[in-house]
Amino acid sequence: MEDYREDEHLGKIYDGRLMRRLLGYARPHLGWILVSIGLLLLVTAADLAGPLLIRTAIDHHLRAADRPRIALAPAALEQLPEGLQREAVAFEGRFFLREDRLPDGFLGPAQRAAGRYQVLEAQGGQHYLVQVGDEPVTAPPARLQVAEAGGQTVILAPAGAGDGPGAAPRALPARLLSRTELHQFRQPERAAVARIAGLYLALAATAFLLAYTQGYLLHRTAQRIVAEIRRQVFGHLQRMHLGYFDRNPVGRLVTRVTNDVETLNEMYTSVVVNLFRDLFVLLGIAGIMLAYNARLALTAFAVLPLVVVAAAVFRTQARAAYRQVRVRLARINAFLSENISGMRIIQVFRREREQFAEFDQINRSYFQATMRQVTIFAVFRPVIDFLSSLALALVVAYGGAQVLGRQLELGVLVAFIQYVQRFFRPITELAEKFNILQSAMASAERIFGVLDTPPAVVDPARPRVPARVRGAVEFDHVWFAYRDEEWVLQDVSFRVEPGETVAFVGHTGAGKTSILSLMARFYDVQRGAVRVDGIDVREWPQEELRRHIAVVQQDVFLFTGTIRDNIRLWNPAISDAAVERAARLTRADEFIRRLPRGYDEPVTERGSTLSAGQRQLLAFARALAYDPTILVLDEATANIDTETEQLIQEALRQLTRGRTTLIVAHRLSTIQHADRIIVLHRGRIREVGTHRELLARGGLYHRLWLLQHGEQEELAAGAEGRARRDA
């Protein structure tokens, strides 16, 4: 269960040390990140400018149609800038311009009062051009009555603020406007609203282009960062010694290079840079709202303490739920990996029903944990939405009262409503960012756990390489253990001369394969020394040492590709002719030629479409194509049938000629030709000699031989002896 619970420890939600290391990978791309942040700032500014434009359209134009206008003579109009001249409405020989557009001091108070007019809607829904004099009319249409006075149409408006209580209504001269004339007076506002709409659309289009550019740059930068992290992790794994892979399952390491690194990509794109966006949005909206109306802004912010409480509760509950989901997901992955790999055994022993029941239980547990997490996330977002609606209701109630009391413009209230909705948007997205950040910290901890594990086998600071590699191998009082002092080899000493063939035999666990691993320096010895051509393998560069060694193992690993690719292992230095020559010498050419595409026949994962013997022959061809100085055969003929074995025995004798060859074999019949046979027992050398010498000695090798072949020979010899005595 230890592997299953690997992801249960999540570490901190935010770890400054890990974050500094993660940001260190972003440092080479700082320029593009700053550009992305700058673009994000522009996008945010464009987004925040939208409500301001709407506020301007409402307060300065849509609701400004009844504002006072000053009637100007043509000579006075010419004194104004061209922009203001275009806004003036020509009517009956004069030019009417909104009073709030005129520069300060352009006309005296008396001139303004004499020429001040308003376009007002009276009872009955008709519109009039009314001369209002000193005080503009603010009464609604229902309180404006039309009357006739002295043969002239007048509007009876309520008394002004400067009149005393009970004062009679004001009679203001008025002129009825036709539909065309009314349209003429409203045309400047229509044109202004159209310009604002066009500006709003242009702003949205610009924001779209900026957002696209920013998103592209951000994701490209993030992909480059995670590609570098992925490259470092895989490169580090390639430098690790085999003992590291003995302790760490393949599935776990694959997860590090794929899932965990991809989680960091989400952090770079969704959290790091977007935090700036959220900060810009929150600060920008708060600043604008406080600047326009501090009381209304504080009314909207009154719900923030409740938001903080909700976020704190969510963080605690979501973290516990996330831990449970990770644990159960790890169990599912481990169970699936194990059962799919062992499906042959499950079907042979008819364990499908039991394994399905166990998987169903694990799957149900994962489902329950996931539903708990979904429930927590499903509650948090509606809670924030409700608090956002509560803030919106407070703004509408308080702001609406101010609008009715003419203490606040309607456009400001509309802008506040939009800003409140935008303000709570980043808070609503907190759930997703929290989940990503938590995953990223856990993934970063595991990734850096891999990168911080130093390789146990490293190249020397001052390497030594012989002028010519001859292939002499020497073990000098070697002691070796995979763990602590559980010795696999104890005081092992021998020497293999260049071109000599030496075989190692013994019971399982005697240390035969360990000797081959130490010679290739997959592990380092604890005591003694292993030398190749008189130089300790710890003084060789690993790549140079292994360039002269070829290994053929019992469990042959074939890569996805073609037959030709698997023999040369994508090494361009090995020609097609060399590939085919190696295949002919190992008798692999015979079955390769029978394949539909010959050497270009596709090979599936691990060579599942080939027989065990065919895979073994390809491994022989692969080793010989590299033309090694030292050839290592680790149970290399174990999966080859007797007929195939007879075919390659002659090839082996030719291939081992002139090469130092080390053979590990359980089938003693395959090593009778060896120059020497070293018998190992419990990590120590017990016997050394040729096949005949060891049989004649009658020791451990003799007993091993009898276990495999000799009993039948002795029975036959005994029966022949008894027959002679009877005769």
pTM: 0.72
Q: Which of 586, 609, 627 is the last residue of a domain?
A: 627
Give which of 54, 55, 49, 417 is closest to 210, Cα–Cα: 49
Asked if residue 296 has pLDDT above 50, the reply is yes
* Residue keyed to tokens 């592997």: 3
Question: Is 523 among the domain residues?
Answer: yes
What average pLDDT does range 473-491 have in this prediction?
92
- According to the model, what pLDDT value does residue 2 have? 45
Cα separation, 130 vs 118, in Å, equals 5
| 187 found inside a domain | yes
**For residue 578, what pLDDT is reported?**
92
Query: CA-CA distance, 412 to 408, in Å (whole number)?
Result: 7
130 and 21 in a common domain: no
Answer whether 500's CB lies under 8 Å from 487's CB: no
Quote the CA–CA distance of 664 and 507 in Å, as a whole number: 11
DSSP assignment, residue 455?
-
The answer to whether residue 197 sits within a structural domain is no
Q: Are 228 and 116 within one domain?
A: no
Q: Where are the alpha helices (DSSP H) in 520-575?
A: 542-547, 563-568
CA–CA gap between residue 471 and residue 550 (Å, rounded): 12
CA pair distance 26, 535, nearest whole angstrom: 43
If asked whether residues 572 and 519 sit together in one domain, one would say: no
pLDDT band at 5 (very low <50, low <70, confident <90, very high): very low
For residue 204, is it within any domain? no
- Rounded to a whole number of angstroms, the CA Rg of the chain reads 45
Q: Is the dihedral of CA 540, 546, 552, 557 positive or negative?
A: positive
Cα–Cα distance, 336 to 325 (Å, whole number): 16
User: H or E element: which one contains 532?
Assistant: strand 527-532
Q: Domain for residue 298, yes or no?
A: yes
H or E segment at 98? strand 94-98
| Residue 358 within a domain | yes
Of 195, 176, 159, 180, residue with least CA distance to 122: 176
Same domain for 688 and 673:
yes
Per-residue pLDDT tens digits for 376-426: 888 888 888 888 889 999 999 998 888 887 788 888 889 889 889 888 888
What pLDDT does residue 442 have?
78
Which of 13-17, 106-110, 650-654 has the highest average model confidence (pLDDT)? 106-110
Instruction: Quickly state the pLDDT bin for 331 (edges 50, 70, 90).
Output: confident
pLDDT per position as a tens digit, 510-559: 888 899 989 999 899 999 999 999 999 999 999 899 889 988 887 888 88
Same domain, 559 and 670: no
> Looking at the structure, do residues 324 and 446 belong to the same domain, yes or no?
yes
* Per-residue pLDDT, 642: 67
Q: Are residues 539 and 673 in the same domain?
A: yes
Q: What's the whole-number mean pLDDT along residues 472-476?
A: 95
Q: CA distances (Å), 154 to each of 123, 132, 648, in order?
A: 13, 11, 121
Give the span between the Cα atoms of 676 and 693, in whole angstroms. 10
SS3 of 108-171: CHHHHHHCEEEEEECCCCCEEEEECCCCCCCCCHHHCEEEEECCEEEEEECCCCCCCCCCCCEE
- 18, pLDDT greater than 90: no
Flag the least confident range among 69-73, 574-578, 633-637: 633-637
d(CA 502, CA 671): 9
Residue 504 has what pLDDT? 94
Q: Show the domain range for 713.
A: 465-548+630-727
> How confident is residue 427, by pLDDT bands cut at 50, 70 and 90?
confident
Q: Which residues of 271-300 are buried (b: 16+ CB within 10 A; e: fewer)?
A: bbbbebbbebbbebbeebbeebbeebbebb
Name the residue with tokens 């065919």.
614
Domain boundary (627, 647, 671) is at: 627
Range with the lowest mean pLDDT among 66-75, 326-335, 656-665?
326-335
Which range (12-21, 101-110, 636-645, 652-661) has the least confidence? 636-645
Same domain, 95 and 217: no
Percentage, residues of the chain above pLDDT 90: 25
Most confident of 210-219, 412-421, 436-445, 469-478: 469-478
List the CATH number of the domain containing 668. Answer: 3.40.50.300
Domain count, the chain: 4
In a domain, residue 233? The reply is yes
Reported as a pLDDT band with limits 50, 70 and 90, residue 8 is very low
Q: Is the pLDDT of residue 4 over 50?
A: no
Q: How far apart are CA 528 and CA 478, in angstroms?
A: 4
Tell me the pLDDT tens digit for each residue of 334-373: 788 778 878 878 888 888 888 899 999 999 999 998 898 8
Q: 173-182, 334-343, 495-504: which range is least confident on average? A: 334-343
424 belongs to a structural domain: yes
Report the chain's terminal Cα–Cα distance, integer Å: 70
- Residues 429 and 565 grouped into a single domain: no
User: Whose CA is closest to 616, among 665, 565, 557?
Assistant: 557
Least trusted range by pLDDT, from 81-90, 336-345, 443-452, 684-693: 336-345
pLDDT higher than 80, residue 495 = yes
Using the 3D structure, point to which of 586, 605, 627 is the last residue of a domain: 627
pLDDT digits 0-9 by tens, 201-253: 999 999 999 989 988 998 898 889 888 998 999 888 888 877 788 777 776 77
Is the distance from CB of 10 to CB of 441 less than 8 angstroms?
Answer: yes
Structure tokens belonging to residue 504: 């190692």
Q: Within this chain, do residues 329 and 435 fall inside the same structural domain, yes or no? A: yes
Question: Per mean pLDDT, which range of 426-435, 631-640, 644-653 is the poorest?
Answer: 644-653
Q: Residue 458, SS3?
A: coil
Tell me: do 510 and 585 sit in the same domain. Answer: no
Model confidence at 134: pLDDT above 70: yes
Would you state the pLDDT for residue 139?
A: 84
What is the C-alpha separation between 476 and 536, in angstroms, rounded? 10
**CA separation for the pair 299, 392 (Å, rounded):** 9
The whole-angstrom separation of Cα 333 and Cα 346 is 18
Kindly tell me the sign of the dihedral angle through the C-alpha atoms of 89, 92, 95, 96: negative
Q: What pLDDT was estimated at residue 630?
A: 93
The residue-averaged pLDDT of 118-143 equals: 88
Please return the burial class of 221, using the count of CB atoms within 10 Å of its CB with bins 0-12, 13-18 and 19+: buried
Is the pLDDT at 716 greater than 60? The verdict is: no
Predicted confidence band of residue 713 (pLDDT cuts 50, 70, 90) = low
Same domain assignment for residues 610 and 476: no
